[in-house]
Amino acid sequence: MSVYLNNAATTWPKPACVAEAMAAFLSRGGANLARGSSSERDMGTLNSVLDCRMRLAAFFNGYEGRDPRYVTFCANVTEALNIVLRGFLKPGMKVLTSSMEHNAVMRPLRRLEKDGVVVTLIRSHRDGLMDMEDLKDKLSKNSFDLMVMSHASNVCGTIQPLKEAALLCRDAGVPLVLDTAQTAGVLPLDVSSLELAALCFTGHKGLMGPQGIGGIVWKPDFALKVEPLVTGGTGSYSHLESQPEDLPDKFESGTPNLPGIAGLNAALEWLETTGMKTVASKEQEIGAYFLDKLKIIDGILLGGKQDMADRLPVFSINVKDMDNGILADLLSRAGFETRPGLHCAPAAHRSLGTFPEGSMRVSPGYFNTKTEIDAFLKALTDIIQES
Ligand SMILES: Cc1ncc(COP(=O)(O)O)c(C=O)c1O
């Protein structure tokens, strides 16, 4: 069995309760959502979906007293961002984003740019932090319709000064959309006090759920201004041929990923019982252990922040004179799973000075041990010495 050090791609393993809840849904529940009568199985599905919606509204401190209607389910954060960006931005509108974004933000924006949306990038420093002076300057000189940013980098783990950015956007009257792919379930997130227009999340990373489930927590008045990307059957308002305006139906056409919702609900319950702080501090501890030992290996080039302050345990590494793909392959043969390349984030790599070669990303997680880290670092040292 190999050692998994690729938690920024997806956390693994998952708590056992996740697979159990999904299997229970498929074998004992399994009714569709709002598309049956009121049988026990129908009510079981209805309650399980509502329970997960309520849990998410509470987890992210949603609007209107954590009203679960303002939680939308979709496949992942990529789809969530597409729903928000493509549903809101119209030709001629101006959107601000950072130069550290994942393609989940960049590609929808570049596509919208072809339709006449104006995209402006905020510069970033070499440590991956957004240049706040540039943000202030841009906000003061232009009127933007939207800002979208990721909370933390999937390439180098740098955590952005979200509170400061949210305040600047609020004062400038610019709705802020947040990509929480790397931070949901890891850092506290409070949609209402940050006054976010939309928080987009994915279930399979820090939230510890399965792949294929994610969503949006909306500011109600912002959701009103967004056109649905997909329209169709919702199991409600069946007399209408037009899409319902009410949430959650407005953005949830077609049968949702019900086993995924059951799995995510179990994962959230696990996170609540274990304690998000406990999980995050164990991850930080293993990250600090890794970084201390990594720094003393000769020939290592670390991208982004050089210490553990304001960062997640996501490390972007290059070894002098060695292709990071070859390095990752050698490590994989030695039993260690990492991720080389550009991590779907060419703009972030440009900002960090690692484009086009990319880096090898190492992202330990909650279930890793110090013994595994020691074994990885020994394998890395051996490869460097033999090269
Ligand atoms: C910052 C960031 N945004 C978006 C995504 C896309 O996540 P998903 O594939 O779950 O939609 C990722 C995944 O790595 C990410 O790290």
Residues 307 and 252 in one domain: no
| Residue 299: pLDDT band with limits 50, 70, 90 | very high
Residues 152 and 79 in one domain: yes
Average pLDDT of the chain to the nearest whole number: 97
Please tell me the predicted confidence (pLDDT) of residue 327.
98
Residues 93 and 131 in one domain: yes
pLDDT in tens, 244-253: 999 999 999 9
| Most ligand 1 atoms within 8 A of CB, residue of 154, 201, 316, 363 to mutate | 154
| Residue 213: pLDDT band with limits 50, 70, 90 | very high
Quick check: 17 and 208 in contact, CB under 8 A? no
Please tell me the predicted confidence (pLDDT) of residue 345.
97
Residues 217 and 129 in one domain: yes
Name the domain boundary from 273, 292, 327. Answer: 273
For the chain, the farthest-separated pair of C-alpha atoms sits apart, in whole angstroms, at: 71
End-to-end Cα spacing for the chain: 25
| Most ligand 1 atoms within 8 A of CB, residue of 85, 183, 202, 257 to mutate | 202
**CA neighbours within 13 Å on the CB side: how many for 115?**
12
SS3 87: helix
Q: How many CB atoms lie within 10 A of CB 320?
A: 10
| Most ligand 1 atoms within 8 A of CB, residue of 344, 349, 361 to mutate | 344
Residue 270 has pLDDT above 90, yes or no: yes
Ligand 1 centroid to Cα of residue 89, in Å, is 21
Please tell me the predicted confidence (pLDDT) of residue 10.
98
Please tell me the predicted confidence (pLDDT) of residue 147.
98
| Residue 386: pLDDT band with limits 50, 70, 90 | very high
Name the domain boundary from 273, 289, 314. Answer: 273
Find the mean pLDDT for residues 54-81. Answer: 98
Nearest CA to ligand 1 atom 12: 181
| Residue 109: pLDDT band with limits 50, 70, 90 | very high
Quick check: 212 and 80 in contact, CB under 8 A? no
Ligand 1 centroid to Cα of residue 378, in Å, is 30
Name the domain boundary from 247, 273, 299. Answer: 273
DSSP per-residue codes, 202-218: ETTSTT---TT-EEEEE
Find the mean pLDDT for residues 281-294. Answer: 98
Please tell me the predicted confidence (pLDDT) of residue 276.
98
Residues 248 and 305 in one domain: no
Ligand 1 centroid to Cα of residue 182, in Å, is 7
Ligand 1 centroid to Cα of residue 331, in Å, is 24
Residues 262 and 285 in one domain: no
| Most ligand 1 atoms within 8 A of CB, residue of 11, 12, 77 to mutate | 77
Ligand 1 centroid to Cα of residue 159, in Å, is 15
pLDDT in tens, 21-51: 999 999 999 999 999 999 999 999 999 999 9
Reported in sequence order, the residue ranges of the chain that DSSP labels E, i.e. its strands, are 3-4, 71-74, 94-98, 118-122, 146-150, 176-179, 198-202, 214-218, 300-303, 315-319, 336-337, 339-341, 359-362
Residues 159 and 261 in one domain: yes
Please tell me the predicted confidence (pLDDT) of residue 85.
99
CATH number at residue 347: 3.90.1150.10
Nearest CA to ligand 1 atom 16: 154
Number of domains in the chain: 2
Please tell me the predicted confidence (pLDDT) of residue 155.
98
Q: What share of the chain is helix, strand, coil (3-state, %, to 5)?
A: 45, 15, 40
Ligand 1 centroid to Cα of residue 78, in Å, is 6
Strand ordering across the sheet containing 94-98: 71-74, 214-218, 198-202, 176-179, 146-150, 94-98, 118-122
Query: Taking CB atoms and a 6 Å cutoff, what residues make up the pocket around ligand 1?
Result: 76-78, 102, 104, 150, 154, 179, 181-182, 202, 214
CATH number at residue 101: 3.40.640.10
Closest ligand 1 atom, CA of 150?
A: 1
pLDDT in tens, 123-150: 999 999 999 999 999 999 999 999 999 9
Closest ligand 1 atom, CA of 203?
A: 10
Residues 367 and 233 in one domain: no
pLDDT in tens, 216-253: 999 999 999 999 999 999 999 999 999 999 999 999 99
Find the mean pLDDT for residues 59-68. Answer: 97
Find the mean pLDDT for residues 74-79. Answer: 98
Closest ligand 1 atom, CA of 204?
A: 10
- Residue 97 and residue 87: Cα distance in Å, rounded? 17
Closest ligand 1 atom, CA of 202?
A: 10
Percent of the chain whose pLDDT exceeds 90 = 99
Residues 265 and 147 in one domain: yes
Q: How many CB atoms lie within 10 A of CB 313?
A: 26
Residue 378's contacts (CB-CB under 8 Å, 6 or more residues apart) are: none
Residues 204 and 336 in one domain: no
pLDDT in tens, 152-180: 999 999 999 999 999 999 999 999 999 99
| Residue 1: pLDDT band with limits 50, 70, 90 | confident
Residues 304 and 195 in one domain: no
Cα Rg of the chain, angstroms: 21
Residues 88 and 190 in one domain: yes
| Most ligand 1 atoms within 8 A of CB, residue of 11, 12, 78 to mutate | 78
Give the domain extent around 98: 16-273
Ligand 1 centroid to Cα of residue 287, in Å, is 20
Percent of the chain whose pLDDT exceeds 70 = 100
Which phi and psi (to 5°) does residue 257 adopt? -80, 85
